Structure 1
Amino acid sequence: MLIQSQITDLATPTGTMRTYVHRPNAAGSFPAILFYSEIFQQTAPIERAARYLAGHGFAVLVPEVFHELNPIGTVLGYDDDGKNKGNADKAAKTVTDYDTDNQAMIGWLQQQDWYNGHLGAMGFCIGGHLAFRAAVQPQVKATACFYATDLHTQTIPNAPGQHTMERLADIKGEMLMIWGKQDPHVPAPGRAQVYNAMSQAGLNFTWHEVNGQHAFMRDEGDRFDPQLATLGYQLAFDLFQRNLR
């Protein structure tokens, strides 16, 4: 399916949030996916991933996750400087500010005649956490989280009682959790902690652990695993087809 791309700058309580929109270039209405990047924002690999999702019949919104902390259009490099800046931004943003970011995107979507009203979320790394966070919004019916960081450590700044793992009761949609067993950012005890919490909360989820490193979905760098990436996309498409069509 051919796609088209646009940019929309959305007003949020913490400032303007640039959002990149990739969607089918076809008549009709489509489900949407809120797609969350790594700490580096919309890099070339993230844009390619978003366009790949869009080509399968979804409208994909990629927000600048740290829009409060950077000039509009900022993309960080996959290097030490970019990593240090992205981690500093992650530590500086309060987790509840992502809720208003999500609400701004949902409100904008509801005004678009090409949106069919069915919404999912997906993300890589910190974006996996942010997709998980988006699942607390009642409109989100399905969420795919790839090697989501900081769920088990609860290190993202938060208001009391507002950390993502304290909001499990608000999640009503189906969850897909995918992890790399060789990922040092989320070791086995951390994965077990998240699994047990989701199970105890009675969430509807599937769980996959693969022999992959952190960032195995990113089609750039030494950790990219094309075979695992294909499997990951297939699992995500299955989730979204069942819940958003």
Structure 2
Amino acid sequence: MPTKTLRIPTPDGQADAFAAFPERGERHPGVLMYADAFGIRPVLRDMASELAGHGYYVLVPNFLYRNGPTPVIDLPERIGEEVRPALIAQLMPMIEAHTTERVLSDADAYLRFLATQPEVGAGPVAVTGYCIGGLLATHTAAAHPGQVAALAAFHAPVGAAGPDALAAITAQAHFGHAESDLTPHALDELNRALDAAKLDYTSEVYPGTVHGFTMSDTDAFDSAGLRRHWDRLLPLLDRTLRHG
């Protein structure tokens, strides 16, 4: 699977990024993939490459580029629960400084860059994200309703986007929640907000999962949850980017 390390011009500098795409020479639908808080690392490269193998150009930006290139902090090969709190403590000030204004400015730059890549075809794109990346994907879809046809967010605080952002989304959406992230009442509240925003969406709790279940380099990883994630993501992209 061909891959590239890229630099994306933004109003605040340059964001380093990883891209994966099919070997075939024709153009492919574009997918903007936002990493979780731990950023671009082997598991994200593997996931981007797996998605690219289904016929997509997948761009994964380092959304914390203002704090330095990938890796923004030193990461162990496995992010176990014994090290997770200390890593999150390092990352949280950077995440808190990543304001909605910055998110939207960067999203403009990422999508503009994606559209200019020679391997990317004309037409709508998809955005997907994990953990905080799912919130960034939600903001991106809200800010670019004419361009983003599909939105997928996994173990993500999507409700934090707010009702105005949700109401602006025209993409078909899937929200895959960790069982440990939402109480039944909180899920009901979120789904009512999605209904009020008139989204075309699915929203479901993945049984037996905890926050971060898609990431195979963490103790949260759940193989059944990851399979369900692909079972939801791939049909969504197929019907919106290929048959929409």
Superposed pair shares fold, TM > 0.5: yes
Q: Higher mean Cα deviation, 56-65 or 108-117? A: 108-117
Identify which of 122, 132, 141 aligns with 1:135: 141
Whole-Å Cα distance in 1 between the matches of residues 12 and 186 of structure 2? Answer: 31
CA separation of 1:195 and 1:40: change in aligned 2, threshold 3 A: same
In the alignment, which residue of structure 2 is the partner of 1:38? Answer: 36
How far apart are residue 82 of structure 1 and its match? Answer: 2.0
Matched, 1:24 2:22: yes
**Counterpart for residue 170 of structure 1:** 168
CA shift in 2, pair 1:89/1:188, >3 Å: farther
User: What CA deviation, in whole Å up to 9, does each residue of 1:175-222 have, x standing for no partner?
Assistant: 001112123xx4444333321111011111011212211111111233
Gaps of 5+ in 1: 155-162
Tell me, in whole angstroms, the C-alpha distance in 2 between the residues paired with 1:133 and 1:45. Answer: 24
Task: Spell out, residue by residue over 1:111-145, the C-alpha distance to the aligned partner (whole angstroms, 9 max, x if none).
Answer: 22321123001111111111111111121100111
Equivalent residue, structure 2, for 1:190: 186
Q: How many residues align?
A: 230
Of residues 232, 235, 239, the one that matches 1:235 is 232
* Aligned-partner residue type, residue 190 of structure 1: A
Equivalent position amino acid for 1:193 in 2? E
The residue that corresponds to 2:241 in the other structure is 244
Q: 1:221 to 1:105 in 2, by over 3 A?
A: closer
Find out whether 1:225 has 2:222 as its counterpart: yes
1:146 maps onto 2:154 in alignment:
yes
Name the SS for the 1:209 alignment partner: strand
Match of 2:132 in 1: 126
Q: 2:51 aligns to what SS in structure 1?
A: helix
Structure-1-length-normalised TM-score: 0.88
Q: What amino acid does structure 2 have at the position aligned with 1:236?
A: L
TM-score with structure 2 length normalisation?
A: 0.88
Farther-moved stretch of structure 1 (71-80 vs 13-22): 71-80
Q: Distance in 1 between matches of 2:128 and 2:69?
A: 22
Deviations 1:65-123 (A, max 9, x none): 1112x112224423333211222211111112111211112212222232112300111
Q: Cα distance 1:95–1:164, how it changes in 2: closer, same or farther (>3 A)?
A: farther
C-alpha change, 1:189 and 1:92, in structure 2 (3 Å) is farther
Q: Which residue of 1 aligns with 2:98?
A: 93
Helix, strand or coil for the counterpart of 1:219? coil
Letter in 1 for 2:55: G
Identity of aligned residues (%): 25
1:109 aligns with 2:106: no
User: Do 1:177 and 1:206's aligned partners in 2 also have CA atoms closer than 8 Å?
Assistant: yes
Matched residue of 1:244: which SS?
Answer: helix
Equivalent residues of 1:142, 1:239 under 8 A apart:
yes
Q: CA RMSD in A?
A: 1.6
8 Å CA contact 1:21–1:59 kept in 2: the answer is yes
Cα deviation code 1:16-38 (max 9, x no counterpart): 11111111111111011110111
Rounded Cα–Cα distance in structure 2 between residues aligned with 1:31 and 1:123: 17
Q: Which runs of 5+ in 2 are unaligned?
A: none
